[in-house]
Copies of this chain bind each other. A is one copy, B any other.
C-alpha cells in the first residue's frame, strides 16, 4: 500500500493510472476507521482497479464550538485496517497542503444544505463540499463511495458533482450498524457505557417509524411525534431535530412516501449522533 502526502504527487499518480486505462475508486474519510469505512473500501475494490482512501480531518467543516481538536485519530491503526482490505493508496495530506496561506475558495451547494444539520451546523456543508471538490480534483477518481449514514452529506455531494459537471460517479452505500443497531461512527468512541442504551433509541425509533409507515401511517407529524416520545423517554438524550424530508430536496414533507427520509440528530450526553432511514428501504436493525 502506497502513502501519498502531496496533492501534486497524488494527482500525477492518478493521471498515470488513468492513462493506463485503470479505473480509480475513491473513499474520502476522516480516519479512525470502523467497519463502515472498511465496508466502503471493500465495495470500492469490487468496482475499480485501484482504491484510493483519503484520511483527512478537514478543519473547514467543523464549527468553532465543535470537536475538531478532540476528533479521534490513529493513523497507524488506520493503515493496518486499510491494508487488511487491500486498499491501494492512502492519501494523507496536511492542513498546509490542503489550505495553504492565502486560500480563499469555497463551494456552496445552496438548497439541500439548508435543512437538518445545516441549521445547527452553519458552514459545515460548505466545508464538506469544498474539501470533497478539492479531493476529487486531486484523486481524479471514476467513482467515489460514501456511507448513507451522513445522508445530507451524500445528497449535497451528489448535487455538487452534478451541478459542476464533475466527471465521476457518486455511490452511496447503506449504513453499517453494530449488532445492537447503533449506526457506526468514529464519534461513538465518545459514548460513556451508561449512555449506550440511550444511543440505541435512534435506530429503534427508525424501526418504529418504518413500522408505522408500513402499517399505513402517512402523516409525518404523527410519525415524528411517536419517534420523539420514544427518544425523549431515554435518559441523557437531547433532540436536535427529527424531520421527514424529500430525499431529493431535503425539504420537510407532510405526507410520507417511498421518496421520503426520516433523519435525526440527537445528543446523548455530550456526543452528537445522527441517523436516518429512507422509507421502504431495508433497515438492518
Q: Interface code A102-136, partner B: CB below 8 Å = 1, 0 otherwise?
A: 01111111111000000000000000011001100
Q: Determine whether the beta carbon of B11 is less than 8 Å from that of A159.
A: no
User: Cβ of A165 < 8 Å from any Cβ of B?
Assistant: yes
List 18 interface pairs A-B (beta carbons < 8 Å), by A numbering.
A11-B165, A15-B167, A18-B18, A104-B111, A105-B109, A105-B159, A105-B164, A106-B107, A106-B108, A107-B108, A133-B164, A134-B163, A137-B164, A137-B165, A137-B166, A137-B167, A138-B165, A140-B167
Query: Chain B residues with Cβ under 8 A from A112's Cβ?
Result: 104
Nearest chain B residue, comparing its CB with the CB of A21: B19
Nearest chain B residue, comparing its CB with the CB of A166: B137
Give residues in A with beta carbon < 8 Å to B: 7, 11, 15, 18-19, 21, 103-112, 129-130, 133-134, 137-138, 140, 159-160, 163-167
Nearest chain B residue, comparing its CB with the CB of A7: B165
User: What distance in Å separates the Cβ of A61 from its nearest Cβ neighbour in chain B?
Assistant: 16
User: What distance in Å separates the Cβ of A108 from its nearest Cβ neighbour in chain B?
Assistant: 5
User: What distance in Å separates the Cβ of A180 from its nearest Cβ neighbour in chain B?
Assistant: 38
Q: Determine whether the beta carbon of A105 is less than 8 Å from that of B160.
A: yes
Q: Determine whether the beta carbon of A165 is less than 8 Å from that of B134.
A: yes
A166 to B137, CA, bound (A): 6
Nearest chain B residue, comparing its CB with the CB of A112: B104
Besides A104-B110, A107-B107, 8 more A-B contacts (Cβ < 8 Å) are: A11-B167, A19-B21, A103-B163, A105-B164, A107-B164, A108-B108, A134-B163, A138-B165
A103 to B160, CA, bound (A): 9
Query: Chain B residues with Cβ under 8 A from A104's Cβ?
Result: 109-112, 159, 163
Nearest chain B residue, comparing its CB with the CB of A99: B163
User: What distance in Å separates the Cβ of A274 from its nearest Cβ neighbour in chain B?
Assistant: 22
A110 to B103, CA, bound (A): 9
Q: Determine whether the beta carbon of B164 is less than 8 Å from that of A134.
A: yes
A11 to B162, CA, bound (A): 13
Query: Chain B residues with Cβ under 8 A from A110's Cβ?
Result: 104-106
A66 to B54, CA, bound (A): 44
User: What distance in Å separates the Cβ of A167 from its nearest Cβ neighbour in chain B?
Assistant: 6
Query: Chain B residues with Cβ under 8 A from A105's Cβ?
Result: 107-110, 129, 159-160, 163-164
User: What distance in Å separates the Cβ of A76 from its nearest Cβ neighbour in chain B?
Assistant: 27
Query: Chain B residues with Cβ under 8 A from A111's Cβ?
Result: 104
